[in-house]
Amino acid sequence: MTDAPVTKPAESTIVDGVHYHQYDIVIIGAGGAGMRAAIEAGPNASTAVISKLYPTRSHTGAAQGGMAAALANVEEDNWEWHTFDTVKGGDYLVDQDAAEILAKEAIDAVIDLENMGLPFNRTPEGKIDQRRFGGHTRDHGKSPVRRACYAADRTGHMILQTLYQNCVKRGINFFNEFYVLDLIMTNVDGVDQPSGVVAYDLSSGELHVFSGKAFIFATGGFGKIYKTTSNAHTLTGDGVGIIWRKGLPLEDMEFFQFHPTGLAGLGILLTEGARGEGAILRNASGERFMERYAPTIKDLAPRDIVARCMVKEVAEGRGAGPNKDYVYLDCTHLGAEVLETKLPDITEFARTYLGVDPVTEPVPVMPTAHYAMGGIPTNVKAEVLRDNTTVVPGLYAAGECACVSVHGSNRLGTNSLLDINVFGKRAGNNAVEYVKTAEFVPLPEDPAKFVRELLATIRTSTGTERIAVLRRELQEVMDAKAQVFRTDESLREVTETIHTLRERYKNIGVQDKGRRFNTDLLEAVELGFLLDLAEVVVFSARNRKESRGGHMRDDFPLRDDVNYLQHTMAYLSGDALSADAADHISLDWKPVTITRYQPMERKY
């Protein structure tokens, strides 16, 4: 990392009302991964960061509990134990070479942030403090370990602010409230390569084309395919959807994580850091039920296990509340000082949204859709793959939109903030090396044509279907039939609903016909991405006839390493709008990289 002056790009031009820009590196997304990449790229190549939000509103800011690193500041720890926990927590679908990189480079990633000015909590000796988190253990699973570096329960917010301040310091070029809606691919000597992206300027309604040598996708997740979710309204999977529509594959899309402790009925997240500080899950009778399921680490088992146990408690009649449809997170024994100093946000959330004071009463919680383990396939250099091994020259991805795969079928808590920093940095550095020798790929004639026609068609449509209605129906059926527990029958029902919604989507209409700040228009485009991605999630889930990590099949309750110890690779083929997913989605497999840890039973 360097503070060298940034290389300024050439002036933009306007042709037929379309603005044209040229940068060496174009980063799509200004959350943690995008800005971490920009900090590496900006001082060494002309760099643009395009974001649908103002950067400090990106969803990284919602991450609460911490960032894992085996610093061993408060007790013995090492990166090998962290690697093992990552692999085991991911139910052995983790690519172990990537997990080793994640755990090894975690220490430098934390120190980088500290040097940038991030205000971590401190021990009395002045070191970065660390606390427990689910699935993180010492000595290969023998007992919990304090590995999560944290800034109260606002760690993601602090990371986002710190990265943005350092981007400003380096003179990074931001294009805020620009929606990237298309990736332009140009065939060069028989190989499709990225040559530009097309973005819609929310403030003016004008189109902008950004040409570049390298492109980094860091656009986050797609949790809004679900109704009950910790994800912000903007997490609609635009970047993943764009890659999908370009005929590039998506990996392990069936694996979606449901965080155990969302506020019941709302999905607003209460950090796992609360359980790291000693909070306890209890059923209606006050029993600490996790002692029955995970006797060694109890409430700090991996998220997929805890979420299933909570749902099972409710299903078997031990739920709390008038409808017996949630369990409790009991923080009362922690005391007001711990809650107000180390967990201030979750304390405020419970008081504000449920009228419950965690200091004196337990908080109603149930699992909420939280994190996509699957996404755009990449190698450990953050290079996007067009199949199991072939790199797309000049195209990179990092963060939740990418699948490297360090999370396998279930991400450990605190590994997401780590992922964005480790692989965001790698994406930025490798893009810089690439553009040193790469040339700009020529743009096609009228590169903005597809986006211009797409937006015009929606804006001028006289259709009667309303976006909010279709989106709600999609989210409700995904919650009901494709959440923590799944069966072939429930997934088939979701598939049929999605097909119906896709037909109705052809008849959408928007009420706002204007050009400036037309969020109605953009939500229509976003719904298209949500329908695409929900369909891939469900189609992949029907094909995986086993239970593993975040994918629990009631009709196939056991993990099947003989047939399914491999990644799902989904490809778009045929007509994407056909009635049957089988007509336009094909599936293949990709081997899991195993280096030192052979699959074993997950006991906690």
How many other β-carbons are positioned within 10 Å of the β-carbon of residue 192?
17
Q: Are residues 512 and 575 in the same domain?
A: yes
Q: Tell me, what's the pLDDT at 578?
A: 54
Distance in angstroms (rounded) separating the CA atoms of residues 78 and 564: 31
- 604: in domain: no
**pLDDT tens-digit map of 139-151:** 998 999 999 999 9
Q: pTM (2 decimals)?
A: 0.94
DSSP per position, 111-168: HHHHHHT----B-TTSSBPEEEEEEEEETTTTEEEEEEE-STT-HHHHHHHHHHHHHH
Average the pLDDT over 44-58 and give the result. 96
Decide: 550 and 257 in contact? Cβ < 8 Å.
yes
Given 116, 139, 155, the domain boundary residue is 155
Q: Are residues 200 and 246 in the same domain?
A: yes
User: What percent of the chain has a predicted confidence (pLDDT) above 70?
Assistant: 97
**pLDDT tens-digit map of 541-568:** 999 999 999 999 999 999 999 999 999 9
Q: Are residues 210 and 333 in the same domain?
A: no
**Contacts (Cβ under 8 Å, ≥6 apart) of 425:** 36, 37, 39, 40, 105, 109, 112
Q: Tell me, what's the pLDDT at 603?
A: 83
Q: Are residues 431 and 347 in the same domain?
A: no
**Contacts (Cβ under 8 Å, ≥6 apart) of 116:** 162, 163, 165, 166
Average the pLDDT over 59-76 and give the result. 94
- Residue 122, beta-bridge partner list: 128
- 602: in domain: no
Least confident of 23-37, 143-157, 347-361, 570-584: 570-584
Which CATH number does the domain housing residue 526 bear? 1.20.58.100
Helix (H, G, I), strand (E, B) or coil at 181: strand
Q: Are residues 162 and 142 in the same domain?
A: no
**pLDDT tens-digit map of 223-245:** 999 999 999 999 999 999 999 99
Q: Is the pLDDT of residue 2 over 50?
A: no
**Contacts (Cβ under 8 Å, ≥6 apart) of 513:** 459, 460
- 14: in domain: no
Categorize the per-residue pLDDT at 257 as very low, low, confident or very high, splitting at 50, 70 and 90: very high
Q: Are residues 203 and 189 in the same domain?
A: yes
Q: Is the pLDDT of residue 6 over 60?
A: no
Q: Is the pLDDT of residue 5 over 70?
A: no
Decide: 374 and 536 in contact? Cβ < 8 Å.
no
Q: Which of 422, 334, 410 is closest to 372 using CA atoms?
A: 410
Which CATH number does the domain housing residue 333 bear? 3.90.700.10
Q: Which of 366, 457, 321, 422 is closest to 33 using CA atoms?
A: 422
Residues written for the chain: 604
- Residue 118, beta-bridge partner list: none
Q: Is the pLDDT of residue 272 over 60?
A: yes
Which CATH number does the domain housing residue 213 bear? 3.50.50.60
Q: What's the token pair of residue 505?
A: 């989507």
Q: Are residues 235 and 114 in the same domain?
A: no
Q: Which of 294, 275, 269, 284 is closest to 333 using CA atoms?
A: 275
Q: Are residues 461 and 573 in the same domain?
A: yes
**pLDDT tens-digit map of 360-386:** 999 999 999 999 999 999 999 999 999
Q: Are residues 520 and 572 in the same domain?
A: yes
Give catalytic residue positions.
303
- 10: in domain: no
- 492: in domain: yes
Q: Tell me, what's the pLDDT at 12?
A: 81
Given 322, 350, 367, the domain boundary residue is 367
* Structural domain span for residue 346: 260-367
Q: Is the pLDDT of residue 330 over 50?
A: yes
CA geometry: angle 122, 125, 130, nearest 5 deg: 40
Q: Are residues 417 and 494 in the same domain?
A: no
Q: What's the mean per-residue pLDDT of the chain?
A: 94
Given 367, 386, 407, the domain boundary residue is 367
Q: Tell me, what's the pLDDT at 231?
A: 94
Residue ranges at the known binding site for substrate? 259, 271, 370, 411
Looking at the chain, the number of H-run helices and the number of E-run strands are 16, 23
Distance in angstroms (rounded) separating the CA atoms of residues 154 and 63: 7
Residue ranges at the known binding site? 29-34, 51-66, 238, 259, 271, 370, 400, 411, 416-417
Q: Tell me, what's the pLDDT at 573?
A: 85
Inter-residue long-range contacts of 2-5, CB under 8 Å, 24+ positions, other chains counted: 2/43, 2/44, 3/43, 3/169, 3/170, 4/43, 4/44, 5/43, 5/171
Q: Tell me, what's the pLDDT at 507?
A: 95
**pLDDT tens-digit map of 172-219:** 999 999 999 999 999 988 899 999 999 999 999 999 999 999 999 999
- 596: in domain: no
**pLDDT tens-digit map of 397-431:** 999 999 999 999 999 999 999 999 999 999 999 99
- 297: in domain: yes
Average the pLDDT over 279-297 and give the result. 95
Q: Is the pLDDT of residue 8 over 90?
A: no
Q: Tell me, what's the pLDDT at 1?
A: 45
Categorize the per-residue pLDDT at 62 as very low, low, confident or very high, splitting at 50, 70 and 90: confident
Q: Are residues 248 and 333 in the same domain?
A: no
Q: Are residues 477 and 568 in the same domain?
A: yes
**pLDDT tens-digit map of 111-134:** 999 999 999 999 999 999 999 998
Q: Tell me, what's the pLDDT at 604?
A: 84
Average the pLDDT over 91-97 and give the result. 98
Q: Tell me, what's the pLDDT at 577?
A: 52
- 178: in domain: yes
Number of structural domains (the chain) is 4
Average the pLDDT over 492-515 and give the result. 95
Q: What secondary structure letter does DSSP report for 320?
A: B
Average the pLDDT over 60-68 and give the result. 91
Q: Which of 260, 289, 125 is closest to 550 using CA atoms?
A: 260
End-to-end CA distance of the chain: 40
